[in-house]
Amino acid sequence: MKKLSKIFLLILALSFAFKNVLMGQSVVSQEMTVYNENNSPLSNNSIRALLTDQTNNLWIATDLGLCKLNGTNWEVFNSSNSGLTDNYIQSLAIDQSNALWVGTVNGGLFHFDGLNWTNYNSLNSPLTTDFVRSIAVDLNGDVWIGTVEGLLKFDGINWTVWTIANSGIFSQNISTIAVGANNEKYCGTINGGVIYVSPAEQIQNYTIQNSGIPDNSTVVIQVDGNGQPWFATPAAGLFTDIGSLSWQSTNTQNSPLPTNSLTAFHIDKTQNFLLGSDQFGIIIRSSNNAYRSYSMSNSSLPENHVISATSDSLGNIWIGLSSGGLVRLKEQYLSVDKNIFTDFNVYPNPVLSGQHLFLSKSIDECEIEIISADGKMVFNEKSKDSKAYILLPALQTGTYFLKIISNRSVFIETIVIRS
């Protein structure tokens, strides 16, 4: 009985969402392209970090070298063909001159200007360790480096180092760094809270114990278009500073967020939040606070464990998986034009599995989708001819959603299939 109740509630929720579409909101269709070791020059299927540079090159950090993708052209950089001495790439950043900064697990920090590589490590610089977890370039062009043994700043000549011993920070394991609108820095740690570095480089530490933050560990920090910092955590969802370092949480209890365990985070130019998870794939929060997600259950995403994400100037979303490779997600927003589907319906409804579902009037060049109650697409057909009926596949008895897309207009109806 409880299972039936959940299915009924799911159908109601989906019906409500589709009703909103018919009332004038947009419908999102999506196309995914998967790149892996078998079908592309991608050097490894574990994608640790992603970023796009000023010329829209996509840089891909893997466990077996660094890759660059420009359209359909690939380049691979590793210890055998470049100045890299370590193939375990952990972090990436771009500076004002479009040069690349690369953090590795065992080789320290690398700078690549497109021709030359420069390596900074624990033997030739003040780096406290060769494990560089995070990198950010501030408004002055200074490079901030998060390692597993402290926070550093490099201005091209001079180094500054913050550790527990010399600054009072609560953790030296710096997981992420973001630069604020006034050149302040927000540094996330593992088990040490948030380190705030003022423009004058004064240090403050915020933890569960001394402030309102919900988690002492942070996966990724992003600053939105209004200069507001957002913190993705491994156990408490999102939280943000709403002013004067006052914290507000977004989690499974107060939002549609399906999990509090976040593994990746990126804010695109349209202020969409791209949130990675280990079990729910990629979660997208639009600028109007609407949520949608893509996982193995409702898309061609080959794995649910997302560990990196970014976007490019063409509107593509790039998703890095733990072991499933790289995915390009392209979304298309379809606006509803009621004129095309005025006085339009389908019949009979209910309809027998494997039989004809008739359209009350013919539709030219359309795409037809049937979606199950749990969100899986079970039927897809594209027709360039005039369409007056749909020959249904053999489907199990139940409630489905029929979507017809024609001339960037959408008709959606709940249909019941009987055997």
pLDDT exceeds cutoff 70 at 366 = yes
Residues 319 and 237 in one domain: yes
Of 281, 313, 334, which marks where a domain is finished? 334
Q: pTM score, two decimals? A: 0.78
Residues 17 and 59 in one domain: no
Residues 240 and 297 in one domain: yes
Residues 66 and 174 in one domain: yes
Residues 375 and 305 in one domain: no
Q: Which among 364, 417, 374 has a CA at the least distance from the CA of 393? A: 417
d(CA 135, CA 363): 53
User: pLDDT digit string (tens) for 137-185?
Assistant: 999 999 999 999 999 999 999 999 999 999 989 999 999 999 999 999 9
The number of folded domains in the chain is 2
Instruction: Please state whether beta strands 282-285 and 291-294 pair in parallel, antiparallel, or not at all (unpaired).
Output: antiparallel
pLDDT for 408: 66
CATH of the domain at 395: 2.60.40.3080
pLDDT exceeds cutoff 60 at 334 = no
Of 272, 299, 334, which marks where a domain is finished? 334
pLDDT for 195: 97
pLDDT exceeds cutoff 50 at 16 = no
3-state SS class at 216? coil
Residues 74 and 207 in one domain: yes
pLDDT exceeds cutoff 70 at 335 = no
What integer is the mean pLDDT of 105-111?
A: 98
Instruction: Please state whether beta strands 351-352 and 409-418 pair in parallel, antiparallel, or not at all (unpaired).
Output: parallel
The two three-digit tokens of residue 17, written as one number: 């969402």
Q: Which among 224, 280, 235 has a CA at the least distance from the CA of 256? A: 280
Which residues, 6 or more positions from 23, have their beta carbon under 8 angstroms from its beta carbon? none
Residues 291 and 371 in one domain: no
Residues 248 and 318 in one domain: yes
CATH of the domain at 99: 2.130.10.10
User: pLDDT digit string (tens) for 195-223?
Assistant: 999 999 999 999 999 998 999 999 999 99
Secondary structure element (H or E) that encloses residue 407, with its range:
none
Residue 15 lies in domain: 2-25+337-418
Of 286, 311, 334, which marks where a domain is finished? 334
Yes or no: say if 81 and 43 are a contact pair by the CB < 8 Å rule: no
d(CA 171, CA 156): 26
Residues 81 and 204 in one domain: yes
Predicted confidence band of residue 406 (pLDDT cuts 50, 70, 90): confident
Residues 208 and 344 in one domain: no
Residues 311 and 199 in one domain: yes
Q: Which among 222, 223, 299 has a CA at the least distance from the CA of 262? A: 222
Residues 160 and 95 in one domain: yes
